[in-house]
Structure 1
Amino acid sequence: MASSFKTVELSDVPFESQGLRFLTIKTPSLQGRGDICLYVPKVEKGINNLPIYILLHGVYGSAWIWALKGGAHKAAEKLITSKTIEPAIIAMPSDGLWGDGSAYFSHHSKNFDNWIVNDVVTAVKENIPEAKKSTSTCIGGLSMGGYGALSLGAKFPEKFKAVSGHSSITKLEQMALFVEEPLEAYTNNTSLPNVIDCIKLNKSNLPKLRFDCGVKDELIEPNRLLNKQLNDLNIAHEYEEFDGGHEWPYWITHVEKTLKFFNKYK
Structure 2
Amino acid sequence: MPFKTTEISNPQFESNNLRFITVKSPNLKGRGDICVYVPPGAKPADTVPIVILLHGVYGSVWSWSHSAGVHLTANELIANGELPPMIIAMPSDGLWGDGSGYLLNSGYNFEKWIAEDVPMAIRENIAGAKKDSPLFISGLSMGGFGALRIGAKYGHLFRAVSGMSSITSLPQIKLFAEEPLKYYAQDNVVDEDVFATFKHYRNQLPPVRFDCGVNDLLIRYNRDLHQKMLQAGMPHIYEEHGGGHEWSYWAKHVITTLRFFASYF
TM-score, normalised by the number of residues in structure 2:
0.97
Q: 1:262 to 1:188 in 2, by over 3 A?
A: closer
**In the TM superposition, what is the alpha-carbon distance from 1:48 to its structure 2 partner?**
3.0
Length, aligned pairs only: 264
Cα distance in 2 for partners of 1:36, 1:211 equals 24
CA contact 1:170–1:222 (8 Å) conserved in 2: yes
2:135 alignment partner in structure 1 = 137
2:257 alignment partner in structure 1 = 258
Cα distance in 2 for partners of 1:254, 1:36 equals 22
CA contact 1:215–1:241 (8 Å) conserved in 2: yes
1:76 alignment partner in structure 2 = 74
Cα distance in 2 for partners of 1:199, 1:63 equals 27
**In the TM superposition, what is the alpha-carbon distance from 1:132 to its structure 2 partner?**
3.5
CA contact 1:107–1:189 (8 Å) conserved in 2: no
Cα distance in 1 for partners of 2:120, 2:244 equals 35
**In the TM superposition, what is the alpha-carbon distance from 1:107 to its structure 2 partner?**
1.6
Q: Cα RMSD between the aligned structures?
A: 1.2
Q: CA-to-partner distance for each residue in 1:86-117, whole Å, 9 max, x for gaps?
A: 10100000001111000011121111111000
Structure 2 residue 109 is matched with structure 1 residue 102: no
1:218 alignment partner in structure 2 = 217
Cα distance in 2 for partners of 1:144, 1:45 equals 33
1:10 alignment partner in structure 2 = 8
1:208 alignment partner in structure 2 = 207
CA contact 2:42–2:128 (8 Å) conserved in 1: no
TM-score, normalised by the number of residues in structure 1:
0.96
Cα distance in 2 for partners of 1:261, 1:249 equals 20
One-letter code aligned to 1:176: K
One-letter code aligned to 1:166: M
Cα distance in 1 for partners of 2:97, 2:169 equals 18
Cα distance in 2 for partners of 1:200, 1:255 equals 26
**In the TM superposition, what is the alpha-carbon distance from 1:82 to its structure 2 partner?**
1.5
2:47 alignment partner in structure 1 = 49
SS in 1 for 2:32: strand
Q: CA-to-partner distance for each residue in 1:29-88, whole Å, 9 max, x for gaps?
A: 000000000000112644431010000000000011100111111121122111122101
Cα distance in 2 for partners of 1:136, 1:211 equals 19
Cα distance in 2 for partners of 1:34, 1:5 equals 11
One-letter code aligned to 2:159: K
Superposition pairs of residues 1-266 of structure 1, within 5 angstroms: 4-43=2-41, 45-192=43-190, 193-266=192-265
Q: 1:44 to 1:6 in 2, by over 3 A?
A: closer
Q: CA-to-partner distance for each residue in 1:159-193, whole Å, 9 max, x for gaps?
A: 10010100000010000000010011112544221
Q: 1:44 to 1:137 in 2, by over 3 A?
A: closer
SS in 2 for 1:67: helix
Cα distance in 2 for partners of 1:208, 1:159 equals 12
One-letter code aligned to 1:220: I
One-letter code aligned to 2:8: L
Cα distance in 2 for partners of 1:90, 1:145 equals 15
SS in 2 for 1:84: coil
Percent of residue pairs bearing the same amino acid type: 52
CA contact 1:144–1:169 (8 Å) conserved in 2: yes
SS in 2 for 1:54: strand
Cα distance in 2 for partners of 1:40, 1:178 equals 32
Cα distance in 2 for partners of 1:45, 1:86 equals 15
Q: 1:44 to 1:23 in 2, by over 3 A?
A: closer
